[in-house]
Amino acid sequence: MAHAAVWLDHREARVFRLASRQVDEVTVRTPQHLHRRHPKGESGAKEHPEDEKQFFHELTRALAAYQHVLIVGPSTAKLAFVQYVHEHDRALESRIDGVETVDHPTDAQVAAFGKRFFKLEDD
């Protein structure tokens, strides 16, 4: 069974495939529109509402092969993603086993957190 831990914010998602001794990572980034700054400090997200949908769509594609998924992150992006999945990908929704708030851990910390969550032991 394939397990993944996903660290997610509004700019990127890092998907970690959790295996007993090995961890592979794939990064999914938002379209460039979200990274532009406007004079008043607002991001371009409001001007490009399809960007978040495209970002979440790409993330659902990256998670298609996983049977067990843990979503973690520091902000509301993880909840917005879960809502998107609820509305657009019910098959993935049933494979999301947890949603946890974490700040900005290292890649190794995300992988370790995922392994503890799923009770995966190194061989």
Q: Between 21 and 119, whose confidence is greater?
A: 119
Residue positions counted in the chain:
123
- The predicted pLDDT at position 92 comes to 97
**pLDDT of the residue at 22:** 63
Q: Phi and psi for 32 in degrees, rounded to 5?
A: -55, -25
Residue 93 token pair: 């929704």
Please state, in angstroms and as integers, the Cα–Cα distance from residue 94 to each residue in 57, 103, 113, following that order: 16, 25, 21
Q: Where are the alpha helices (DSSP H) in 2-106?
A: 50-62, 77-88, 90-93
11-70 confidence digits (pLDDT tens): 899 999 997 666 676 777 777 644 444 444 444 444 566 888 999 999 999 999 999 999
Looking at per-residue pLDDT, the higher value among 122 and 65 belongs to 65
The tokens describing 75, both together, are: 């902000």
Instruction: Categorise residue 9: left if φ over 0, alpha if ψ from -120 to 50, beta otherwise.
Output: beta
Q: What is the pLDDT of residues 99-110, one digit of tens each?
A: 999 988 999 999
Q: What is the Cβ-side half-sphere exposure of residue 4, based on CA atoms within 13 angstroms?
A: 25
In the chain the domains, ranked by start, together with CATH numbers, are 3-118 (3.30.420.60)
119: left (phi over 0), alpha (psi -120 to 50) or beta: left
By DSSP bridging, strand 3-8 and strand 68-73 are: parallel
Distance CA 27, CA 8 (A): 10
